[in-house]
Structure 1
Amino acid sequence: MPLMSSSVVKLAKELVFEPITTLTNILYYGNHLPRNLNLERLVSSEFLHQQNYFFHFLTTMLRCVW
């Protein structure tokens, strides 16, 4: 539980300070945005760290459900 809560706090902090970039990353890695050069400017790889559990959970849920 402490690992998930720290991941949620980190993602919430990113949503507050950089909401467009964070939402773009979630949708991009959830395969709901097209792969083009204009959007890749907003996508960063800092969310792909292995210990970012909540981000991986959100992107996996987007792939499965939506």
Structure 2
Amino acid sequence: MVSPFRKSSYSGQEGDCVEVAHTADGGRIVRDSKDPAGPHIVLGAGAWGSLMQTLKRDDLAAH
């Protein structure tokens, strides 16, 4: 079962952002809010957790 997709409150007025839905196993599905029928990225719980830790540490800014 997948929860409804939610858009970030940080998306602003333009609406250009990603939307995220929760999966039953704790993972996430990510899609472009401008193209909801387009491609999706499916991340398991571990991959989602790693991505969130990386973003919080801002490791991507150094690369």
For normalisation by structure 2, the TM-score amounts to 0.31
Which structure is higher in RCO with an 8 Å CA cutoff and minimum separation 6?
1
Greater share of residues in strand: 2
Task: Pick the structure with more helix per residue.
Answer: 1
TM-score, scaled relative to structure 1: 0.30
Larger radius of gyration: 2
